[in-house]
Copies of this chain bind each other. A is one copy, B any other.
Amino acid sequence: MSVPNQFYEYVDQHKSDFIDRLAKAVAIPSVSGDASYREHVFEMSRFIVKELEALGVKVRTVDLGKQVLDGQEIQLPPAILGSIGDDPKKKTIQLYAHYDVQPALLSDGWDHEPFKLTHDEKTGRLYGRGSSDDKGPLLGWINVLETHVKLGLELPVNLRFCFEGMEESGSEGLDDLIKDEVGPGKFFDGVDCVCISDNYWLNDRTPCLTYGLRGISYYKVTISGPARDLHSGVFGNTVHEPMTDLILLMSRLVKPNGEILIPGLEQLVAPLTDEEKQRYDVLDYSISDIEQSAGAPVALSEDKSAVLMGRMRYPSLSLHGIEGAFSAPGAKTVIPAKVSGKFSIRLVPNMTPDNVDPLVITYLKAEFAKLNSKNKLEVENLHGGKPWVADPNHWNYVAAKKATETVYKKTPDLTREGGSIPVTLTFAEALGVNVLLLPMGRGDDGAHSTNEKLDVSNYIEGTKLLGTYLWEVAATAPK
């Protein structure tokens, strides 16, 4: 049961139709983080529902309630739950993507209008907000559906769609929906595996499958003392200054080489096996890749595997900034009365917010006690999420690997990512099945940046990849 050749032919022949479909989607500025764009997020949901229904998908939109944004109470965009195929002899695959996008303004530094898909024929790139994150991948599934329907080809699997419009703004409401829809007779009943297409290749050359994500624990350390901001002329060298204490505490969290100084954290990290180490050694990646994406020669090491493991399988601690201190241009001579340092730790197995929090809090309190300061310390965890790792030898991954080899003639890199996509963990835990991250775009697509793009070849070959993956699941998964 391999992919019929007519599938690939149809996709190649309808390249410009598929690009038109993406252009229509990009033209709807479905920015979820700005209340004044909310109507467009709804417009985008209607666009998708129409496309799905035209292709025979049974669609249900789920009202996720209201939120407060920019001071107004407004309606959340709906989750779109779609279903096609109910053959008990076939595997049932749950697909996820999001139809909202990050904000974008021409004045941010875009070379083209961000909400008008611009096809640069010379480079073969499609520029536009959402082209790669995540409208391209979402439409990739619709292109696959269309191809099957138009060719009269029966789908090799049952498909379930879960498309949301709030991913860029914390996925409000989605977790509850997923948990509610688990159980006999519910929407997610019978799902055999999950495929999420909302990430990127490690580089701009080699496709990848992603089987892990770091978690996060985000902290706010507040030092307060004086009742109000003081003038440094009048009070300098007479009182305990909160900034002095805070800067010293923050300096004791992490070394310039990235080493975390909080006792006990290192011991939580799962030991590295030879087999895992080898996975990093074979990745198609170089120090120059990382320095190119950072824009400067600032890699922590010259050893490719070390740098990759720093991102993928070891924790990191980043100091983000300070709230309450002087932060504007110029030279203000203030002693801020209350300052809050913000830092976060990226978590890897077997770290969790629950086992990391007490170590962080105990350490900060002990270090603060050493300062002999009369100021006050408060440590808060602002938010947290567990890391996620899947079994990359599961049939879901085997199918995706075969599909990649078929379409791209390359063995995909097996990667873990340093950031988090919280819905991944929700699906894994709530459904109890294997989850695969199968990216369409490249590492240089610039999701969330100016000039976001998707290469035409990634869109078209990516559509083929998604379709082939469905056939390979049918062929590979145990009956």
Interface residues of A (CB under 8 A from B): 214, 216, 218, 220, 225-228, 230-241, 243-245, 247-248, 250-251, 254-258, 290, 293-300, 307, 310-311, 314-323, 325-337, 342, 344, 346, 371-375, 382-383, 417-420, 448-449
Contact = CB atoms under 8 A, between A and B. Distances in A.
A296 to B, nearest CB: 5
Contacts of A228: 295, 449
B318 A238 contact: no
A313 to B, nearest CB: 10
Given A244-B254, A310-B238, A296 B225 contact: yes
A255 B374 CA distance: 13
A320 B325 contact: yes
B227 A294 contact: yes
A232 B342 CA distance: 13
Contact of A237 (B230, B310, B374): B310
Given A236-B346, A323-B326, 7 more contacts: A225-B294, A225-B296, A227-B296, A238-B294, A240-B300, A320-B333, A323-B328
A420 B233 contact: yes
Contacts of A419: 231-234, 333
Contact of A417 (B233, B245, B321): B233
Contacts of A226: 294-296, 298
A104 B21 CA distance: 56
Contacts of A317: 236-237
3 interchain residue pairs of minimum CB distance: A227-B295, A233-B419, A236-B316
Contacts of A327: 321-323, 325, 327
A238 B316 CA distance: 9
A134 to B, nearest CB: 16
A294 B321 CA distance: 25
A435 B323 CA distance: 41
A330 to B, nearest CB: 8
25 contacts: A214-B233, A218-B331, A226-B296, A231-B419, A232-B346, A233-B418, A235-B294, A236-B311, A237-B311, A238-B258, A238-B307, A239-B290, A239-B294, A240-B300, A241-B319, A245-B256, A247-B247, A250-B251, A296-B374, A318-B333, A318-B335, A320-B333, A321-B334, A325-B327, A330-B382
